[in-house]
Chains A and B, each alone.
Chain A
Amino acid sequence: MHRSVESLLRDARESGRSIPEAVLATEARETGVEPAAIRARVRRTLEVMRAAIAEGLKGEVRSPSGLTGGRAKRLWDAGPRLLGPRVTATLARAIATLEVNAAMGLIVAAPTAGAAGVLPAILVSIGECLDLDDDALVDAMLVAGGIGGVIAQRASLAGAEGGCQAETGTAAAMGAAAVTWVAGGTDEQVATAVALSLQGMLGLICDPIGGLVEIPCIYRNASAAMQAIAAAEMALAGLDFPVPADEVIDIMGEVGRRMPAAYRETALGGLAASPSARRLVQIEPARRPTGISK
């Protein structure tokens, strides 16, 4: 995969390909898999994403800890009060996937399980809004994958290494790039959307209550999805950012490396260490899940 947004854009420009075509060609060359087979697998991945959203929106999933489940449906049913319907639906969809994840349902880690709600929510909502077919959504996913690949190589995708900015921040950057692309943005606007989304996620810590991928993760996924759409909106309007995407990605990596361990998925700091969180974990210990064999 490309190691910089700059090299991805240059590759596209010099080869006369679109960004998704450049990502696809690179993947085919590096793995020896036919482009058509890669697209087919991306499409199957999209189906898993859709199914997870649908399951979460039914409102029946509950995590073993009891901390999450049913909130996506509550937001969906309540509907928009302050926001446009698309945004409210996006928030509900992001929460839906994370609730399915917490309940041991089937999800796509994109780029991680803890950030699995962001990209699917954006794809489904923007797909609906712009009336996109699956081919266009597969293109959008290829753009997202190309950006995620750059971040994986330049910074980190793991909350334990770089905090939540590395997980939902990366997902937001992937989503912003995907949306900007399918909404007709230029290559430069795609890069700007990456910078704009990620700058808004810098410094975000990973502090899950009880060490579980539940709270605040479901809400962090919702806010990251919103961040991504906002960044795309601004990039598409021609707003600029003085620091290029690759430098913002590098800064995200640096902030992660300098982040104290308490804020890197250890459940020793942040919200996880709040008095209420500690009481909650005491009151609701996970049911003994080691099983008993006779």
Chain B
Amino acid sequence: MVSLFDILGPVMVGPSSSHTAGACRLGLMARAILGATPERARIALHGSFAATGDGHGTHRAIVGGLIGLMPDDLRLRDAFAEAERAGMRWEFVTVDLGDDAHPNTAIFELEAGGESARVRGASIGGGRIEVTEVDGFAVSLGGDYDTLVLLAEDVPGTIAAIAGVLAAEGINLATMRVDRTGRHLDALMTIEADQPVPERVLNQIRAFPWLRWARSVGKIA
């Protein structure tokens, strides 16, 4: 659905909605999936991101997103200095993911406090994004909803248990997706909700013995 503020907006730091605002949002999503500002980041850029990112501030926008700057934050201009102050180390590499990959694709390999995350996503136009992979699991996240990302052992009853906790808290679910094609016997779940999931509720879910980790990924304006 097209909204008025897709047409009269977004309000953003230039020069490109896909290569700057969208790139920043990808960084924000990757950071949220890691659950912290990365200490180390390796970002692989594919296609148009790699070819024309230089002139579009794509690298600054991604680094800015990784330290939590929003697409309309003028500090994106000085994102490298801001990121150094935030204690992040980063490197960019170029990657060829083939013709099937979206031309504006980035792959993030992030580390913080012993945790790590590998996130793949693309800037699909007008500042909108799609994250398609988390730690090797297929997902589809646009940052339009408050989202839970959870990794659980692939045992029966996990989905019902999590849905039960959320239902008891009156949290309405928009979408739910499970993927277990990634690795060994785990399943990655992504749940998009109509409202933020409080930390208290998240901790209830974390208490399940079969849950490996759960993170709340807020809506990205």
Which chain A residues have a beta carbon within 8 Å of chain B's beta carbons? 1, 23, 27, 30-31, 38, 41-42, 44-45, 48, 63-65, 100-114, 116, 141-142, 144-145, 148-149, 152-153, 157-158, 160, 174, 210-214, 267, 286, 288-294
Contacts and interface: CB of A to CB of B under 8 A. Distances in A.
Given A45-B8, A291-B80, A293-B83, A104 B55 contact: no
A212 to B, nearest CB: 4
A145 B91 contact: no
Q: In the A-B complex, list the 8 residue pairs whose CB atoms are closest, starting with the nearest.
A: A101-B14, A291-B80, A148-B7, A211-B52, A212-B55, A286-B54, A213-B15, A293-B89
Contacts of A294: 84, 89
Given A106-B11, A111-B7, A212-B15, 18 more contacts: A38-B4, A41-B5, A64-B55, A104-B60, A107-B12, A107-B14, A113-B12, A113-B21, A114-B16, A145-B8, A148-B8, A174-B7, A211-B52, A212-B52, A286-B55, A290-B54, A290-B92, A291-B59
Given A1-B4, A38-B4, A112 B77 contact: no
B2 A149 contact: yes
A113 B16 contact: yes
B127 A109 contact: yes
B57 A101 contact: no
Contact of B9 (A108, A142, A267): A108
Interface of B: 1-17, 20-21, 51-52, 54-57, 59-60, 63, 72, 74, 76-77, 79-80, 83-84, 88-92, 125-127
A2 to B, nearest CB: 10
A108 B55 contact: no
Contacts of A27: 3-4
Contacts of A152: 2, 6-7
A106 B7 contact: no
A106 B16 contact: no
17 contacts: A1-B3, A31-B3, A42-B4, A48-B11, A64-B57, A104-B60, A104-B77, A106-B14, A108-B8, A108-B11, A109-B17, A116-B14, A157-B7, A212-B56, A213-B14, A291-B79, A293-B84
B2 A267 contact: no
B174 to A, nearest CB: 14
Contacts of A44: 11
Contacts of A142: 4
Contact of A157 (B60, B74, B83, B126): B126
B6 A293 contact: no
Given A1-B2, A30-B3, A113-B15, A42 B8 contact: yes
Nearest to A27: B4
B55 A211 contact: yes
A291 B63 contact: yes
A124 to B, nearest CB: 15
A112 B4 contact: no
Contacts of B84: 293-294
A50 to B, nearest CB: 12
A45 B9 contact: yes
Nearest to A288: B54
A160 B103 CA distance: 11
B72 A106 contact: yes
A158 B125 contact: yes
A114 B13 CA distance: 12
B55 A109 contact: no
Contacts of B90: 291, 293
B20 A104 contact: yes
**In this complex, which of B14, B83, B89, B90 has the most chain A Cβ atoms within 10 angstroms of its Cβ?**
B14
A112 B126 contact: yes
B201 to A, nearest CB: 24
B11 A45 contact: yes
